[in-house]
Every structure is written in structure tokens, then in C-alpha cells.
Amino acid sequence: MQINSNYILVDTPKALDLALINLKQSKILSIDTESSGYYTYYPRVCLIQINSNGKNYLIDPLRIPNLTSLSPLFVDSNILKLFHSAQDDIKALKRDFGFQFVNVADTMISSRLLSMEQSSLSFLVEFFHKVTLSKVEQKSNWEIRPLQKQQLKYAALDTAYLESIWQKMEEDLKKRNLYEEAKSEFEFIANEEFVAKEGEGFSLGKFPDILNFTPLERRKILELLRYRDEKAKRINKASFRVFGNDKLSQAVKEEPNEAKCIERFGKKDGEVIYKLLIAEYNDPIDTSELSKRHGEDLNEEEDKKFQNAKKWRLRIMRVRRMEHSLLPSNKQLIAVLKANPQNLEELRALKVFSDWKVDNYGPSLLAALQGISFDNMLGRLVAVRSKEAFVAKRRKKQNQASRDKDEA
């Protein structure tokens, strides 16, 4: 397959109409997006890349006010929509444009099911095509117009290799009896509804070196983070671009000084931050508060079920020899045990798992939640090759290629 890194910039309604003539004739659309999230608090899609029949279309939603003409393509069951990390792109496209999707495939999920050494796009391109993708434009400001040529070329390459990679992965998934599982996961992602996140846009536990602060200092950092988060929302700017974490750390560690706060944060913000630093707090934050995980708010009966569910998950992981990212998360397990489904249809109705997971994991999970033995229900599960086995096989191929070269 010829890989074309050239691109067609689609930044007018007329150009979009012309692009649609080719896109409608496609059997496969490789899709990616570039967003503003590295610069803005509220991310928005700034570019939509679609590779079709060897042509790279870069569609500019900031220049084209109405993209509804793309909707029929995305819901056409005869056209495969191919992504790498479909969940992120599909959620963004649903959020900003209300698009829906039918017939989707994802090379990232496929790489994990196939137990490849890594699941990043750059790794897959290098593995299958021996090409190293540049990451220089990864954190570009995609809102600025006009976009630069190097940005456009970078964006085009993100979709240029997906189809050829998928063709090889699809064949391997079928050979290893993983194709139906993969298809079900793709369908689940395509059908997930976008739900806006509520609450604070930060986690105190992820603040750099948070364990090195005293409980009182952690409380002050929390108040500063809340102030920064509110300002970031108000001016729609990425939080770390409002005030860096290093400035917040320094302000908390030093003796409070209003003049220094004003110098560091500016007059208005400095005055507010100074008041936050000298305020009295009666609720310092201990280390134990930072390490709370899903499950610590459960009652005794729920916690017993949660422990059973985690043991079930570990057993599945060992039986299938698969990585944890493909298995139900703590959040999903807790959603299930709190709903307390009594059968597979009630479990399916929760929309927590794909249909494949409901059919193949559901019986044993429901048994585990009830404290019933489930080992005899796992016999039909297909083992997934371990990462270690994959890396060993790859190294063996590389060593053999090296020996062949030396002998030649």
C-alpha cells in the first residue's frame, strides 16, 4: 500500500462538498482529531483528519461552520471508521458536533488484545512500516490560524498508516480467535454517550511531590488549586498555563508574604492567594486521604463483594494471560455490585460492559459477587499471548535478521 503524506486542506464549505464526493465512495475512513486541550480548559476539536483511498483530507471545523454533511458517513454501516484510541476521538466528535458512529475499529485496542509490546501509534507505525513519526507538533496550538505546513503534515501522517496496520491486525485477531471480542469492544465504544465531567478539574493526589508536604501545606495547596481551577474555567485556559505547579509549591513552602505573592502572581491574584495562605484551616489533609481508592466508601456487604470481584478479575487475568487495561476497572466493578444485577440481561442493561464481556465474563462475575465458585465457567475463554512472549518473539526475529545480514 502506498502511503501518501501529502494532504488536502478542507477549509471552506465548497472544499468539503468536493471532499465528500470521494469520501462517500470509500470502504474505509481512517480518522483522527487534533484538539486545543493543551492550551484551553475546555478542549475543542480544531482539526479532523480523514484518510480515504490514499488521500489525506484535513478538515478545518474552525473555518467551516457546519459539518453535518459528515454525519451520514459516520453512521454508514458499509463504511469502516478506523481510529487509534477511538474512545478519545469519538467522545470529542460527539461532544463538539453531535456525531454518532457505526462500524468502528480501533488499532490501539487491537494492539492490546494482540499483546503487543506497546500500544502507541508511533510504535505501531515503526513496527509495521519501519517509519519513525515525528512528535514535534504533538503539543502544537491547533487553534491558531493559519495552521503551519509542519502542523498539517504531522496531522496527515496520523491517519496515513492506519488502514495498512489494521489489515494486518484484523488478520491476526481472526487467527487467534479474538476478532469477535475486538468487534464487540469497538461497538461498545461507538455507542458510548458523551457525558460531561462534573466537579473539579484536578486531583490533589497527583500534585507533584504531594507526599513531601505537611498536612497543613496540603490543605493550602488544595485551596490554591481550587482558585486556579476556577480562574482557568473563567478564562478558558489550561490550568498549568494559569499558574505553574512550581509557583504554587514555592508559595506554600515559604513564609507568607503579600508583596512576594503579588510579584509572583500579579496584583489581583497575588492578594487572593496571600489571603488563602494566611487563612486558618482546621482540616489538614493526611497522607491516608490521598491514597483513597475506589471501594473505600462501600459498606461491609458491598466491600465483601468488591473483594470477590477483584479476586475474579485476577483469576481472569491469569487464565487469559492478558494485561489489566483490557479487564473491568474498579469503577466498573463497583457500578455492577451497587446495581446488584441478578442475571445477564440486567447486567447488559447497565451498559457498563460490551456485549462480549457480558456474555463471556458475566456468568462468572455474577457468581463471584455471590461468593459462588466460578472456575468451571472459564473454560471457553481464549488465552491472550503475554507481552513477554511477544517481546521475546520480536527479539528472536531481530536477532535472526541480524545474523542473516552478517552472513550475506
Q: What is the pLDDT of residues 260-306, one digit of tens each?
A: 999 999 999 999 999 999 999 999 999 888 866 655 678 999 999 99
Position with higher pLDDT, 343 vs 6: 343
Cα–Cα nearest to 84, from 152, 143, 151, 166 = 166
Peptide bond preceding 146 in cis form (omega within 30 of 0): yes
Rounded Cα gap, residues 391 and 401, in angstroms: 15
| pLDDT given for residue 3 in this prediction | 47
Parallel/antiparallel/unpaired status of strands 55-59 and 45-52: antiparallel
CA 33, CA 46: separation in Å to the nearest integer? 7
The CA–CA distances, whole Å, from 282 to 8, 196, 216, 253, 266 equal: 60, 33, 9, 19, 28
SS3 label, residue 106: strand
pLDDT score of 376 = 94
The model's confidence at residue 393, banded by pLDDT at 50, 70 and 90, is low
What is the pairing mode between strands 28-35 and 80-83?
Answer: parallel
Give pLDDT tens digits for 360-373: 999 999 999 999 99
> Which candidate, 325, 375, 381, places its Cα nearest to that of 176?
381
How crowded is residue 388: how many other Cβ atoms within 10 Å of its Cβ?
Answer: 11
What single letter denotes the amino acid at residue 225? L
pLDDT by residue (tens digit) across 74-113? 999 999 999 999 999 999 999 999 999 999 999 999 999 9
Taking residue 116's Cβ as centre, other Cβ atoms within 10 Å add up to 22
Say which amino acid occupies 273: I
Residue 291: predicted pLDDT: 65
Dist CA 65 CA 240 (whole Å): 30
Residues forming a β-bridge with 32: 49
Q: What integer is the mean pLDDT of 46-52?
A: 97
Asked if pLDDT for residue 246 goes beyond 90, the answer is: yes
Nearest alpha carbon to residue 146 among 272, 55, 58: 58
Distance CA 227, CA 276 (A): 9
Contacts of 189 (CB under 8 A, 6+ apart): 86, 87, 90, 104, 106, 109
